[in-house]
Amino acid sequence: VTTYCTRFPRPLNLTSNLISAHLLRKEMTIKLDETEKQPAAAPDICLTNVYRAHSDDLVETADERRLFSVGGTTGIGAGVASDEDGDGVPIIDLAQPAEVVEEELWKAANDVGFFNVNHGIPQEVIDGMFEQSITFFDQTVSEKKEQCPFDRALNSGYEFKEQIRPSSGRPDQKESYHISPRAGAMDDRWPTKPTTLRGFAETAMIPEAHQLSMRILSSLERRGCTHLEPGTLEQAITLWGEHSRSCLRILRYPPMTVEENEEMQVPGNVHWRAAPHTDFSCLSLLFQREGEGGLECRANPRSAVGSGDKAKWLPVNPVKGGISVNIGDMLSHWSDGELFANLHRVRMPRDASECAKSRYSIGYFTQADDSHVIVTKNGDPITAGDYIKMRLKANFK
């Protein structure tokens, strides 16, 4: 294992066929084969220009692509999730005193990297959004595409198995509908079935998820982004403005036959419901339904749980009354790596029972407005818009 500390991108001149990309983080650990060569001297270039010019050079894309080996059957992208040692995803009660919540959030973000929160969003809002989702997805693919055409630049509309993660090179086995609370982004992209989905998303789900995200971000900002004025993150994230970029995403992982599932797990043809990846966002909220597992995360490699031989994948099971939360790439970049965006995935079904049913989830991804300039301690400024566009380009065909 080789650790490189960089301030600016520097090319990896590797003969290994696993990765050829730029490192943009100040610290990054990569497992390479014995044919690696040392990186060349770092060019004195502007980070913003690198993001604009070379989407494949994003460090996050490089992180995901280096997981790809022998069809995804080896390396840290593989492996079966286990919580035999009890080092699982913590549950944090947000009703505790603020200083206790802040301490527990910080510890969770720096140990496992994923955590569940008891949150305060009315359960009827969550259940209602799932009802809207099930009704929407219970249409043909052509009907959904006609009602809600996907626009990659706006990150809005409906897609069916169009997301190809750099870690796998194959389509995720899922469909999703992206609702972007941005002026004009949803024009001619709201579904006609159900007619109530728009109002429910606009007046209930998005406001509740946004408010919870701001509360968690404010707590993490105090310790993870000490170079920022208090409230910077909250002020950078708006809803329904010209430059707003957050996204509510409803997802369905369709059922499949046992034979289809087996065929998509053969070496050289390995698929995932969602291949190993990190999120683009500052913060991600994931709403799951009990009895519909499959989400897994890899413990933070900087922690005792995730370091060395202890590094492993952990199940992120649905928790009654809880929401799963993880740090995204944007916040990790903003904090100069103090806050860790860890890898996660959704595995394929394990048995005939799981194959026979759909898996539904809802994600709310909090992202800074396009026009906001992300300022860090150790890197050059970059607009949030440039950052997100490059990530979208690298993930959707």
Rg (CA), the chain: 20
392 confidence band (pLDDT: 50, 70, 90): low
| pLDDT at position 64 | 52
CB-based contact 287:362 (threshold 8 Å): yes
| pLDDT at position 80 | 63
CB within 8 A of 180, min separation 6: which ones?
A: 154, 155, 156, 186, 244, 245, 246, 247, 248
46 confidence band (pLDDT: 50, 70, 90): very low
Per-residue pLDDT tens over the stretch 211-230? 999 999 999 999 999 999 99
| pLDDT at position 79 | 60
Q: Which two tokens stand for residue 348?
A: 């394929």
Task: Name the pairing type of β-strands 382-383 and 2-5.
Answer: unpaired
Secondary structure (3-state) at 139? coil
Half-sphere exposure of 226 (CA within 13 A, CB side): 3
12 confidence band (pLDDT: 50, 70, 90): very low
Tell me the backbone φ, ψ of residue 285, rounded to 5 degrees.
-105, 130
Phi-psi region of 268 (alpha: psi -120 to 50; beta: other; left: phi over 0): left
CB-based contact 381:333 (threshold 8 Å): no
The mean pLDDT of 55-81, rounded to a whole number, is 49
- Per cent of the chain over pLDDT 90 is 60
Complete DSSP assignment for 178-234: EE--BTTTTTT-S-SSSTTHHHHIIIIIHHHHHHHHHHHHHHHHHHH-TTSPTTHHH
Answer whether residue 35 shows pLDDT above 60. no
CB-based contact 264:396 (threshold 8 Å): no
Report the DSSP beta bridge partners of residue 170: none
| pLDDT at position 388 | 81
Q: Which two tokens stand for residue 50?
A: 């690198």
List, in sequence order, the alpha helices (H) in 225-336.
232-236, 258-263, 329-334
State which H helix or E strand residue 29 sits in. Answer: strand 27-30
| pLDDT at position 45 | 25
| pLDDT at position 313 | 86
Question: Rounded distance, CA 54 to CA 50, Å?
Answer: 6
| pLDDT at position 318 | 93
CB-based contact 333:374 (threshold 8 Å): yes
Mean pLDDT of the chain: 80
Give the global pTM: 0.80
Per-residue pLDDT tens over the stretch 264-323? 999 989 999 999 999 989 999 999 999 999 999 987 776 655 555 445 788 999 998 899
194 confidence band (pLDDT: 50, 70, 90): very high
List, in sequence order, the alpha helices (H) in 290-380.
329-334, 352-355
Rounded to 5°, angle at Cα 237 from 224 and 317: 65
Total residue count of the chain as it appears in this document: 397
CB-based contact 166:111 (threshold 8 Å): no
Answer whether residue 10 shows pLDDT above 80. no
| pLDDT at position 5 | 31
The mean pLDDT of 238-252, rounded to a whole number, is 97
Question: Rounded distance, CA 182 to CA 311, Å?
Answer: 39
